[in-house]
Each structure stands twice: as structure tokens, then as C-alpha cells.
Amino acid sequence: MNKLLTAALLLLLNVWSGFSENLPRPEYPRPQFERTDWINLNGTWTYQFDFGNSGKDRRLQSAEKFDQNITVPFCPESKLSGVGHTDFINQMWYQRNLSIPAGWEGKKILLHFGAVDYLSEIFIDGKFINRHFGGSSSYTVDLTRYVKPGQNHNLVVFVKDDQRSGMQTIGKQCNNFFSGGCSYTRVTGIWQTVWMEAVAPAGLKAVIARPDIDQKQLVILPEFYNESNGTLEVSLMDGQKVVANKTVKCGNGSTIVLPIKNVKLWTPETPNLYDIIYRVKDAKGNVIDEVKSYAGMRKVHTANGLFYLNNEPYFQRLVLDQGYYPDGIWTAPTDEALKQDIALGKAAGFNGARLHQKVFEERYYYWADKLGYITWGEAASWGVDVNNDLAARNFISEWSEVVVRDRNHPSLVTWTPFNETWGGGPDAYVRLITNIYHLTKAMDPTRPINDASGDNHVLTDIWSVHNYTQEKDKLMEQLTFTEGKEPYRNARDKDYLAVYEGQPYMVDEFGGIPWMDEKNRKNSWGYGGMPADAEAFYARLEGQIDALAASENVCGFCYTQLTDVEQEKNGVYYYNRQPKLDMKRIKAIFEKIPSRKH
């Protein structure tokens, strides 16, 4: 069967699956590394809870079907999963059949998981083949040795999720039965798309695409599944026009430099993107692997107490986005919902978002790249005992996978591995922060690192603080720098913490002003008490923005938050994404500080 016919049949299979069971989240989940030979495995799976942790004794890894159905990729706590079980789920099992296309003979057969919270074990026909730690990072299982093209196989996934252990990331998932404060409904198991694809044994495994606007070039560092005598052709496109093309021998040490004349820079105001086509060819010149991608030409760095975008100071007007949905919890119900959240942020006057205590899926970054919206990538670090060596080990491996997955996205401008690590001590914590800083720089030297949002800084490129002072004059006083004195910070009197040395100073949490209609005021909270009426809300918000604008040293902010989340009612939109107030007026207030303030 030729390649075009195989691709057509796979496309029809995906379309047919979508019509046959209204396939959820049908879009390709990895838009910066897209192939045609793939099968979406979302939809109806069978499942069983395992509250007694006895499933392996009962040989559930060999089960060909469980008694109940669940809709993947939605977690069992969510409405969209069809389950809606919101109590703690420490262990559970998933099952579905895999039909391997006959046309995949001779190829690597890869099974991809967008994310599974937290520990997952993979079984094919009852045989253990893989284990993965990390509730937020994507991973791939090579099925080639365990399945045969043209045949059906049984896939079972075992999940463990011990949220109270202190050994794993949980983000804002609540450790009590009921959601409370700023902690919300839990997430267990599969919560991002699952899919299979077929790849040539000598195909392209990954790339680093590093823009260099100073020298007007895009640098590509490829990695192959197996190095061969073939070649890699890289074509850079501006629309339908090829602006650069280069062919090199397939080697993991190759460096491909694509010069670009008249570079179109990426900014939130002008989100220009270049398409990329990677073609791996064998020794005879036949294309054995083709991958579609894109890149944005932009540069971010810090210097002189400022954040720079494309060598110009840029004021970041960020909003805290926690990525929760009433029906999907951590999983957006549709791809359009991801796009819409970015549109809502822009409509409220923000030029980006701090993606808070959750690793967002790649489709979100795709829309941020396309629409022009800067982002901060953050781990779901709450839940990790930062003073425990095993917890640190777990965090390092998960964070490393996150950085490698997302480092090519132009919209992502800052890494924030931790948030509010107030309990961090002088020994294991300091070592963990230092290790994470250097590991992140080794994997991606192109972005600044905010080591611990909200202070408790050890080694950082961004000096972030959280300040929920509601009164304009008091906030202005706190944000005024005094010669010879450290500026306002959240963590003091710890001699093992860093001293401020002139890094860009950002208030990366502030505001949090509660507002809700009468029917939503029960069991809700925000910061500073609810204003008396809408005019009082506008006045308080404008006073805080004026205080930030008055500080010559503040070079960015993050307002809490984009939407309400369950009982936390301090979003500028309700949890259902409906506006609370006059959004044109809200937008005008936030935009009182222009992106290019300095």
C-alpha cells in the first residue's frame, strides 16, 4: 500500500471514528510536529476503580473489558468523562482495543499520552511494557515489538495517584474532600489526548528550532530515531513562498542554519509565523518521513532590570490563567475553548498569561503562538515536598519533560518551575532550586527563569513578588524603591535566600478583587472583600494599576485572575466564561500601562 493511500485511509478512519462516537478532541495534539499517519484514541474506553489496590492480584492487567465506560481524554472527576466521581481515586484501570493498520508494517508504532496523572503503567495483551512518573508531562511508548500490523491488541493502563503523599505534583487539586479556598476538584488518570502514529525507523524524533533574530537566521538541531545514510531536507515557508531551504546528512550532531532575509518578527501585536516542512529521505532520495511544523522569529532576554522582547523593553500585562473548566476540570471541552480563553484575555486588555499551577496542553500554546499572546510556563508544583529528596527527584524528571516538549513555542517567554514555596528550607530546597535552574538553562538557554513565583528566591532571572494590597496609596508606597534597601518582598529573614540584585521586578500576582452576582455570593471568596458596587470595583482596580504604573521599577504584572474557578470568585469573567462587568472599561484600565512603557 503506498504512502498516500495509507494516509488517506487513516484520515478516513479518524473522520469515521469522529462520526461514529462524536470523537472528543479530534484535532492533532502536537501541532509543532505533525504527521499524517496517526490515529486518535480518544472516545469510549472501559474502566474500573481499584480502591483496595488489589487489581494486579486479580490480574486486571489482562482484562479484555471492564464493566463501566469512560470518555477519554476527560478525567473521571469531570462531567464530560461520563463518570463524575469526585472523591479520592488512588488507583484505577483503563482498557480499550487497539487496531493496528496493516499499512504500518515496517514502521515504528508509537503510542502517545498527552498526560496521565500521576503514575501510569502500560500493558499490551497482559504484558507490562512501560511505566511513567509525572502527572503533567507528555510521554511516548514504542509498541513496535509488542503489536503486529493488521491485528488487534488489548491495551490496559494502570494509574496511581497519591495526592497526599507529598511526592508528586498536584497543582491546585484539593487535598480535602470538598474544594476550598484556592484549591479545586481533583484530576486523576488520563486527561489529555491519547494517540498512535507510524514513523519510519530512521524518522525524525525531535527538533530544537532556535530563532536568532540578531543574525537573521533560524537554527535547527535535529534528532533521529536512528541515524542513517539518508538526508534531512528543511524548508522554511512564508505563506506559500519558500524563503530558505537546506539539506544535510541525517545525524544527531547536525546543525542547520537557515538565513532569513527581511525577517518578520513575532510579537503579540504581530504574531508572524513561518511554516516548516521536514523531509527525511533515504539513500535513494525517497521521502520516508515528513513532519509539518512552524516557528516564530523572536528573542526574549533580561537586562538592566527590564524584560526585552526583540531587543526592546516590553511591559508584560499578564493574567493568571488556571486552565480549569466547569465540565472538563483540567481538560478543555474543545479546541475552540482553548482559543476562546486567549481571546477573552486579549479582550480584557492583557497581552499574555501566567499559566498557573498546571502544564497546559500543546494546543493552547499553538493558539497563543497563532493569536499573539505571551505565556509563562509553570509546573503544577503544589503538593511536592520541596524538602524531600525523592519528591525532588520526581519533580526534576517531570519538569525536564515539560521543558523539552514546549521549548519551541514563540509565545512562551518565561519558565516558572515553582510557586509560593514558603516552606522551602536551607538544604534540599536550595539544592533543588539550583539544580532546576541549571537544568532548565541547559535544555533552553533562550528564556529567563522565575525560580519560585512570589519570592523565596534562590537563583532567578526574574524577581517576582505577590502583593494583594488593595489600597492604591499603600500599594504605591510598597512598590517604591529606596536606595540601599531591598524592595518589597514576600520572604524575609532567611539567610539562605537570594538577595535582590537588580533583576526585572514583576508583581506576578496582585488584584484578586472579588465580584459576583447575588446568586453566586454564597461560599465564595476573593482578596480584600467585595466592592460595594461596580463603580467601586472599577475604582479599586484602577487605583492598583495606577500604583503599578507609578513605580519606575515594576516591569510587568499578573492580575488574579482570568475566570472564576469554583468557589474562588475573583476572575474578570465568570467560570462559564461570561463577562462580569463592562469589558471595554476593564480593558481600558489594564491598558493604561502600554506594552512598551519604557
State whether residue 221 is helix, strand or coil.
Answer: strand
For 62, 109, 222, 229, 230, the CA distances from 226, given in Å and listed in that order, are 33, 14, 12, 10, 10
- Candidates 9, 14, 12, 21; CA nearest to 72 is 21
The contacts of residue 168 (CB under 8 Å, 6+ apart) are 118, 119, 133, 135, 161, 162, 383, 384, 391, 394
**What is the rounded distance in angstroms from the CA atom of residue 19 to the CA atom of residue 15?**
6
CB 491 within 8 A of CB 497: yes
Distance of CA 388 to the CA centre of its chain: 25
Beta-carbon count within 10 A of 176 CB: 10
Beta strand 418-419 with 452-453: parallel, antiparallel or unpaired? Answer: parallel
- Candidates 47, 45, 50; CA nearest to 161 is 50
Q: What is 214-295's CATH number?
A: 2.60.40.10
Amino acid identity at 149: P
In this prediction the pTM is: 0.95
DSSP code of residue 90: S
CATH 2.60.120.260 domain extents, the chain:
3-199
CB 468 within 8 A of CB 420: no
Q: 310-331 in b/e burial notation, b at 16+ Cβ within 10 A?
A: beebbbbbbbbbbbbbbebbbb
- CATH of the domain spanning 300-590, picked from 3.20.20.80, 3.40.50.1000, 3.40.50.620, 3.40.50.300: 3.20.20.80
**What is the rounded distance in angstroms from the CA atom of residue 236 to the CA atom of residue 277?**
7
Tens-binned pLDDT, residue by residue, of the chain (598 aa): 454 444 444 444 454 444 445 899 999 999 999 999 999 999 999 999 999 999 999 999 999 999 999 999 999 999 999 999 999 999 999 999 999 999 999 999 999 999 999 999 999 999 999 999 999 999 999 999 999 999 999 999 999 999 999 999 999 999 999 999 999 999 999 999 999 999 999 999 999 999 999 999 999 999 999 999 999 999 999 999 999 999 999 999 999 999 999 999 999 999 999 999 999 999 999 999 999 999 999 999 999 999 999 999 999 999 999 999 999 999 999 999 999 999 999 999 999 999 999 999 999 999 999 999 999 999 999 999 999 999 999 999 999 999 999 999 999 999 999 999 999 999 999 999 999 999 999 999 999 999 999 999 999 999 999 999 999 999 999 999 999 899 999 987 899 999 999 999 999 999 999 998 877 777 777 888 899 999 999 999 999 999 999 999 999 999 999 999 999 999 999 999 999 999 999 999 999 999 986 5
Name the superfamily (CATH) of residues 3-199.
Galactose-binding domain-like (2.60.120.260)
- Candidates 400, 481, 411; CA nearest to 441 is 400
Amino acid identity at 413: V
CATH 3.20.20.80 domain extents, the chain:
300-590
CATH 2.60.40.10 domain extents, the chain:
214-295
